[in-house]
Amino acid sequence: MATRVRRSEDQLNQTDKTQPAMLTAGIAVWRVWQSVATTKPDYFAGHSLGEYTALVAANALDFADAVKLVEMRGRYMQQAVPAGEGAMAAILGLEDQVVRELCADAAANGVVEAVNYNSPGQVVIAGSANAVKRAIEIATEKGAKRALLLPVSVPSHCALMKPAAQQLTDALNNIPVQLPTTPVIHNASVTVATDAAQIKQLLAEQLFSPVRWVETIQWFAAQDVSNIVECGPGKVLAGLNKRIDKSLNAMPLFDLATLQKTQQALGEGS
């Protein structure tokens, strides 16, 4: 039994298994919220893989199609870079431009780019393992509060993912996509797509483009959004959102206690 559990855990940590699991968890939470809430969202957005969850919630993608799509996405990403040759790292305490510059300095060792702008002073980098390690060294020299490797199997959102993006483009040609019933803000552009073809294009571009999360939350604030509900396991995004704009009411929703708290905050019935 222990061997079977360990094998299952190892498989779940593979990105082609992790991505469908995360998507399913997010949609499960969203559907619970839908079943009890009268408040309707004005916009959706998702961080990285979460963009697919947002598109399902906004009726642009069928859930079953999305599960198939993200499984393929994970498989293509894993195939694009052999195990051990890619890496990601979190850089804390440096300005975005400084992180971009140190990535450029470290790029002599291979590809390394700033790929997730998560909050002010928190940027994730990704690329070739040697280049990422060199970037960590430079970040430490420049006074980063922390610079640490992340336990991931693929270097997401960097140029090494371009082969995966081409495969994903081909897969998307066989997946029905429509304009969402509620606007979805895309990671790669921080805009709302104007047609289904652009949604597919932005999903492919997302694989090798930065997740512009800070700009996304700033965009929401500029539209006078005051409440943001994070549907899915954990509360990482709620924490990031508060650091980006303290005026926003950022609420994680992942269990009964947070459901009740969110209902109360939004004036929903219990």
157 in active site:
yes
Yes or no: say if 81 and 154 are a contact pair by the CB < 8 Å rule: yes
Nearest CA among 228, 259, 196, 164 for reference residue 62: 196
Please, what sign has the CA dihedral across residues 147, 148, 149, 155? Answer: negative
76: number of Cβ within 10 Å = 22
Give the span between the Cα atoms of 71 and 21, in whole angstroms.
9
Tokens at 15, concatenated = 């990105």
What value, to the nearest 5°, has the Cα angle with vertex 123 and ends 121 and 124? 155
Give the span between the Cα atoms of 1 and 140, in whole angstroms.
44
- Helix axis angle, 96-106 relative to 129-141, nearest 10°? 130
Q: Which of 47, 128, 153, 157 is catalytic?
A: 157
Give the span between the Cα atoms of 238 and 227, in whole angstroms.
11
Give the span between the Cα atoms of 140 and 134, in whole angstroms.
10
Give the span between the Cα atoms of 1 and 21, in whole angstroms.
22
Q: Which of 48, 119, 128, 153 is catalytic?
A: 48
Q: What's the length of the chain?
A: 270
Which residues are the active-site residues?
A: 48, 157
